[in-house]
Amino acid sequence: MSTHEHTRRAWEDASQKHVREYAEHLELARTARLLPIEEQLLGPLLRGAEVLHPQSGHGLDDHALVRLGARSVLGIDYSPTAAEAAQRRADELAVPCRYQVAELPRTDLPSGMTDLVYTGKGALIWIEDLAAWAEEMHRLLCPGGHLFVYEAHPLVPLWAWDADEARVREDRSYFAAGHINDTFPASGAAEHQRTLAELVMTVQGAGFELLHLAEHPDPFWQPDGEAPAAAWDGRLPNALSLLARRR
Ligand SMILES: C[S@@+](CC[C@H](N)C(=O)[O-])C[C@H]1O[C@@H](n2cnc3c(N)ncnc32)[C@H](O)[C@@H]1O
């Protein structure tokens, strides 16, 4: 089996969580909010906007996007299990979100079909050809449309999750092309790495103008029931936010 196929299957297995935890997700969706920095940046852009959410996963953020004013959200994910669970929840709550099963970086969606691409929180690391992905997002956005990413900081793969002291893992490099994920949710899947500079240059190279880039100390996700890692004590970057406009 190719590494790519292994990763896809790992995600299909991991997405069973969305079915097992359907009832909890349904309750979370009723009150889901974006992070404060996301609300601050996206609030003015979301009123009446058609949003595309590549690698939408559980799709809880889609409910928050609608609550902030999005007219509709289209989620794309290659896991049928993830897409079906998200669609069932959106239908049950009568929220204007639709989900399609498709494999990025390319889609057969029409050009210029969206006002805002919203993604992240564990999305970009699964894309091998980030330049092709960024070009596709550029194609799908209307002129002047926005790309927003809230993602793990590229340094995160280097942090050990020790609770006593922040340490750099000896088996990782900031400049590596990737590594195999050894934690939940998609254990065994191939993560693609790129440096902060590579991410920014790739987005700009696809035809976007960078409007905002910030690094944040808190991780976007913490495993349930585990002691917080010392690497999350506020001294190190754990997440980034990026907003760019299609030229
Ligand atoms: C961490 S999850 C979802 C992130 C999402 N923002 C969330 O909060 O749930 C990553 C998702 O990306 C999907 N995915 C990974 N690679 C993909 C690809 N090449 N095409 C489409 N979906 C992909 C997986 O199936 C998974 O649902």
| Separation of alpha carbons 128 and 105, rounded Å | 9
Give the closest residue (by CA) to ligand 1 atom 12: 55
Between 211 and 222, name the one with better pLDDT.
211
Confidence of residue 72 (pLDDT cuts 50, 70, 90): very high
Residue 101 confidence (pLDDT): 98
55 CA → ligand 1 middle, Å: 4
pLDDT-derived band at 225, boundaries 50, 70, 90: confident
In this prediction the pTM is: 0.96
The span from the CA of 137 to the CA of 206, in Å, is 9
Structure tokens at 139: 């194609």
Give the span between the Cα atoms of 222 and 201, in whole angstroms. Answer: 29
The tally of CA atoms less than 13 A away on the side-chain side of residue 218 is: 6
Report pLDDT for 226.
Answer: 83
Pocket of ligand 1 (CB under 6 A): 11, 15, 55-58, 61, 77-79, 82, 103-104, 120-123, 126-127
CA of 165 to the centre of ligand 1 (A): 31
Mean pLDDT, residues 169-191 taken together? 88
Give the tokens for residue 38: 């996301």
Task: Give the whole-angstrom CA distance, residue 11 versus residue 36.
Answer: 28
Which residue is associated with the tokens 């896809």?
A: 8
Delimit the domains of the chain by residue range. 3-246
Tell me the per-residue pLDDT of 115-150, one tens digit each, with 9 for 90 and over.
999 999 999 999 999 999 999 999 999 999 999 999
Q: What distance in Å separates the CA atoms of residue 153 and residue 238, rounded to the nearest whole number? A: 5
Q: What residue owns the CA closest to ligand 1's atom 9? A: 57
Secondary structure of the chain in HEC code, one letter for each residue:
CCHHHHHHHHHHHHCHHHHHCHHHHHHHHHHCCCCHHHHHHHHHHHCCCEEEEECCCCCHHHHHHHHCCCCEEEEEECCHHHHHHHHHHHHHCCCCEEEEECCCCCCCCCCCCEEEEEEECCCHHHCCCHHHHHHHHHHHEEEEEEEEEEEECCCHHHECCCCCCCCECCCCCCCCCEEECCCCCCCCCEEECCCHHHHHHHHHHCCEEEEEEEEECCCCCCCCCCCCCHHHCCCCCCEEEEEEEEC
The CATH fold of domain 3-246: Rossmann fold (3.40.50)
